[in-house]
């Protein structure tokens, strides 16, 4: 069984395209996005790493450090980075872990043997400042991820952490949110003095808190 929501992420030492790291130190007091890709010098992965690099500022703004991983050596990542820059128009600007012995991939459950017994699937882990898993996503090798969706989930997670609200289906930035069921009406009155719309006692809708 791989990592589950709420698990503390295993710490590890790794070599990356930006030098050695210890993962928990890398995360520090902020948020992190760890994602695996199946293999260097492959087409979908090339577009994904280019897209994450292009949009890194949006992760920075949210206090999220991004870091990639595949079971290729760092020397390959560095050669491949040239192709990413050339074809995607953006240089790699975040570290990519070389996990040639698959130790990290195995620990994190990034290899799904029935899909492929040697390469990582497209795993996504969003990790909170408490080093706990807040989100996991798993895509097959043939489907590139959606950066907008990953940012959307991070926004939702951060709203919940800060304001005790949840986000409804298809929520987007600026849309109404829902007061989490664990907050009593008395507690909710303190947090949301402007009030809320109660569609049911358990369905309390409020404007998205700012800040």
Rounded to whole angstroms, the Cα distance separating 189 from 195 reads 7
CA nearest neighbour of 16 among 74, 58, 63: 74
Q: Could you confirm whether 45 is annotated as catalytic?
A: yes
- By beta-carbon proximity to ligand BEZ, the closer residue of 43 and 174 is 43
Angle 61-65-68 from CA coordinates, rounded to 5°: 135
Length of the chain: 211
43 lines the binding site for ligand BEZ (CB under 6 A): yes
> Cβ of residue 187: shortest distance to ligand BEZ, in angstroms?
47
Q: Is residue 205 packed enough to be buried (19+ CB in 10 Å), middle (13-18) or exposed (0-12)?
A: middle
**Which of 12, 15, 30, 39 touches ligand BEZ (CB under 6 A)?**
39
Per-residue binder mask for ligand BEZ (CB under 6 A), 130-149, x = binder:
-----------xx-------
DSSP annotation of 9: P
Options 39-47, 56-64, 103-111, 189-197: segment touching ligand BEZ (CB under 6 A):
39-47
3-class secondary structure, 110: coil
> Cβ of residue 37: shortest distance to ligand BEZ, in angstroms?
7
Options 28-36, 41-49, 70-78, 154-162: segment touching ligand BEZ (CB under 6 A):
41-49
Rounded to whole angstroms, the Cα distance separating 134 from 126 reads 5
Angle 20-59-128 from CA coordinates, rounded to 5°: 70
- By beta-carbon proximity to ligand BEZ, the closer residue of 40 and 133 is 40
For residue 148, the number of C-alpha atoms closer than 13 Å in the C-beta half-sphere is 4
**Which of 2, 18, 42, 207 touches ligand BEZ (CB under 6 A)?**
42
Active-site entry in 9, 27, 34, 45: 45
Any idea which residue has 């949006």 for tokens? 58
Count of residues near ligand BEZ by CB under 6 A: 8
Binding site for ligand BEZ (CB under 6 A): 38-39, 42-45, 141-142
Q: Which residues are catalytic?
A: 45
């Amino acid at each position: 069984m791989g990592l589950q929501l709420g698990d503390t992420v295993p710490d590890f030492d790794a070599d990356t395209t930006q030098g050695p790291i210890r993962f928990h130190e890398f995360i520090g007091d902020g948020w992190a996005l760890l994602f695996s890709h199946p293999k260097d010098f492959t087409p979908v992965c090339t577009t994904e790493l280019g897209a994450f690099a292009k949009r890194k500022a949006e992760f920075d703004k949210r206090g999220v450090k991004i870091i990639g991983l595949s079971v290729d050596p760092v020397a390959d990542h560095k050669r491949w980075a040239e192709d990413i820059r050339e074809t995607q128009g953006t240089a790699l600007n975040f570290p990519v872990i070389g996990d040639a012995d698959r130790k990290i991939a195995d620990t994190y459950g990034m290899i799904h043997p029935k899909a492929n017994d040697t390469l990582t699937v497209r795993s996504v882990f969003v990790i909170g400042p408490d080093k706990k898993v807040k989100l996991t996503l798993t895509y097959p090798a043939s489907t590139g991820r959606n950066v907008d969706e990953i940012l959307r989930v991070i926004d939702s997670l951060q709203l919940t952490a800060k304001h005790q609200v949840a986000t409804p289906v298809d929520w987007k930035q600026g849309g109404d949110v829902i007061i989490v069921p664990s907050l009593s009406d008395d507690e909710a009155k303190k947090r949301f003095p402007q009030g809320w719309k109660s569609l049911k006692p358990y369905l309390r809708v409020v404007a998205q808190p700012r800040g």
